[in-house]
Amino acid sequence: MSLSANGIPAAAGDLAEPSLDPADWDQFRELAHGLLDDMITHIETIRQRPVWQAPAEETRQRFTRPLPNGSRELGEVLDDVRTHIMPFATGNLHPLFMGWVHGAGTPVGMVAEIVASGLNMNCGGRDHAGLVVEQQIVRWMSEALGYPDGASGLFLTGSSMANFVAVTIARTEALGQSVRETGLRGERQLVAYTSAQAHSCIAQAMQLSGIGSANLRLVEVDDAGRMLPDALRAMIAEDRAKGFWPFLVVGTAGTVNTGAIDPLADIADIASRENLWFHVDGAIGALAMLSDSLRDLFKGIERSASVALDFHKWGQVPYDAGFLLVRDGDAQKRTFAQPAAYLQRADRGLAAGETWPCDLGPDLSRGFRALKTWMTIEALGADRIGQSIAHSCMLAHHLAKRLERHPAFELKAPVALNIVCFGIRGSDAEFVRTLVLDLQESGLAAPSWTTINGELVVRCAIVNHRTTTADIDGFMDILTSTLADRGVWS
């Protein structure tokens, strides 16, 4: 082949046509349909398999090969997927996966992912259906959470990112837009408040935003893990007296340890009197606003300045689908919009549209997360999703009741939503740790542990829409027979 001076082939005929599409579309169609069928069966028969199993040694070895230069038959690649990937997943599709707050996904969400990746839209900006659908979700969430028209919103990977973006907006609104250029200097020290039970990503957001996690005050909580408003008031007064600049309070709607909900209305009062940005970490709980029976628990969320939430948890949308809702859309734009030439707008054509997602957060290129969220809510309906959320809370109470009735167990935290934390009487931390790990490795059930008041306890987070009362009863049987095998409480 002859090359031009810069190494590019001199004539088109010098290379085979380079498209990466399949040479034989019929064969591709057959293979793709086969894999889709297998995935549907995988979900349909999820109960027949272990909740979780560690990747086989052969599988770990399989993924240590050097970069392949040549092509391989697609059918062989798909067989590798069947053999080495599908059996060794996280486990969160299974009804007895209760270790962490992970959503279970749905078949409709899976189909949405085929469409989203097939269309391969870049949802950072420009005028196309992707942005229209995302705006629909912004309006739906505004409606569900009691936000006004004019709120803005954005899909992000998860609530960790959404909380970070919110902290950054609160910082810019406190210090003014010039902080984007000057950085943090010569100002009084900003300080923020959240509860001692808040998720660790709040501290990380303070670190990433340059304010520093030492300037995040952890407000004391009550016995149920909820922020104490009086303690918040006192801390703000003390900081003001010392010359600090309180700018942000983060309430949690469903803590990761126990599902506790901070007194959001009290925090809203304090934030408004003290002129603080009131952000809610609703990663777990905000979508419970879709449930008629749970909505009242979140009173005050409608008065917040921003809410982070995760469709991939209780919303059952496939990973990842984090979301940030911001009351004042202009504030979000003031923090993130960039004047780059290649992002210029037009009044028509592909560059139309005044606000693009890239004006509202740090991502430019981004996928079509809105589609799987829209298809999930559109197909199932908000009522059904709300009912499944309420059902998992009901199951948590059922589990708590069964545990309380058995002499071996004691509850370690009130059940606020869907998380049950319990101890085993007469045991120690090592016993609990071993029990949990053995259960996980047995493939029968996957609880986890957490620490409450310094004590290691078993933690069950019921998030899965597939979990039934019979599953919870089955879990009790697994627990009691495992204890009996160990010669305790038999």
Stretch that binds ligand PLP, among 32-40, 158-166, 402-410, 435-443 (CB under 6 A): 158-166
- In the complex, the smallest distance separating the C-beta of residue 416 from ligand PLP, rounded to whole angstroms, is 12
Residue with tokens 């059902």: 391
Contact 325, 176 (CB under 8 A): no
Q: Could you give the CA distance from residue 87 to residue 51 in angstroms, rounded to a whole number?
A: 10
**With binding defined as CB under 6 A, does residue 418 bind ligand PLP?**
no
Q: Of residues 173, 262, 266, 281, which one binds ligand PLP by CB under 6 A?
A: 281
Binding of ligand PLP by 280 (CB under 6 A): no
Instruction: Give the shortest CB-277-to-ligand PLP separation in angstroms.
Output: 17
Angle at which helices 229-241 and 264-274 cross, to 10°: 20
Question: Is residue 302 part of the contact set for ligand PLP (CB under 6 A)?
Answer: no
Sorted by sequence, the CB contacts under 8 Å of residue 76 that are 6+ apart come out as none
CB 299 within 8 A of CB 289: no
Q: Specify the stretch interacting with ligand PLP by CB under 6 A; choose among 17-25, 104-112, 156-164, 182-190.
A: 156-164
Q: Does 417 bind ligand PLP (CB under 6 A)?
A: no
Name every residue whose Cβ is closer than 8 Å to that of residue 137 and which is 6 or more positions away in sequence.
153, 155, 323, 370, 373, 374, 377
Task: Round to whole Å and give the CA distance between 64 and 74.
Answer: 20
Q: For residue 460, give both structure tokens.
A: 């069950």
H/E/C letters for each residue in 390-420?
HHHHHHHHHHHHHHHHCCCEEECCCCCCCEE
Closest separation in Å from C-beta 204 to ligand PLP? 10
Sheet containing strand 322-326, edge to edge, reads 152-156, 322-326, 306-310, 277-282, 245-252, 190-195, 216-219
- Among the candidate windows 154-162, 175-183, 272-280, 338-346, which touches ligand PLP by CB under 6 A? 154-162
Q: Measured from the CB atom, is 159 or 450 closer to ligand PLP?
A: 159
CB of residue 211 to ligand PLP, shortest distance in Å: 18
Among 284, 301, 370, 396, binds ligand PLP (CB under 6 A): 284
Structure tokens, 412: 């370690």
Q: Which residue has the tokens 């950072």?
A: 124
Picking from 80, 99, 83, the residue whose alpha carbon sits closest to that of residue 91 is: 99
Q: Among 322, 367, 386, 423, indicate the residue that binds ligand PLP (CB under 6 A).
A: 322
d(C-alpha 255, C-alpha 198), whole Å:
6
Nearer to ligand PLP, 124 or 322 (CB): 322
Residue 304 makes contact with ligand PLP by CB under 6 A = no
Q: Which of residues 83-142 bind ligand PLP (CB under 6 A)?
A: 101
**What number of CA atoms fall less than 13 Å from residue 368's CA on the CB side?**
22
Residue 190's identity, in one-letter code, is L
Residue showing tokens 């309380």: 404
Report 216-275 residues binding ligand PLP (CB under 6 A): 252, 254-256
In sequence order, the β-bridge partners of residue 446 are: 97
- Distance separating the N- and C-terminal Cα atoms of the chain: 79
Segment near ligand PLP (CB under 6 A), from 107-115, 152-160, 167-175, 218-226?
A: 152-160
CB nearer to ligand PLP: give 125 or 361: 361
Of 113, 262, 310, 363, the one binding ligand PLP by CB under 6 A: 310
Query: Nearer to ligand PLP by C-beta: 252 or 440?
Result: 252
List the beta bridge partners of residue 419: 461
Q: In whole angstroms, how close is the CB of 163 to ligand PLP at the nearest point?
A: 6
Q: Which lies closer to ligand PLP via its Cβ, residue 160 or residue 291? A: 160
Q: Which of residues 167-226 bind ligand PLP (CB under 6 A)?
A: 199, 201
Q: How far apart are CA 169 and CA 333, in angstroms?
A: 9
Closest CB 255 distance from ligand PLP, rounded Å: 6
Residue in the block written with tokens 């004019």:
150
Site string for ligand PLP, 368-387 (x = CB under 6 A): --------------------
**Least distance in angstroms from the C-beta of 459 to ligand PLP:** 12
The site for ligand PLP, by CB under 6 A, has a size of: 15
Nearer to ligand PLP, 252 or 464 (CB): 252
Nearer to ligand PLP, 258 or 440 (CB): 258
3-state secondary structure of 238: helix
Residue nearest to ligand PLP (CB): 158
- In the complex, the residues that contact ligand PLP under the rule CB under 6 A are 101, 158-160, 199, 201, 252, 254-256, 281, 283-284, 310, 322
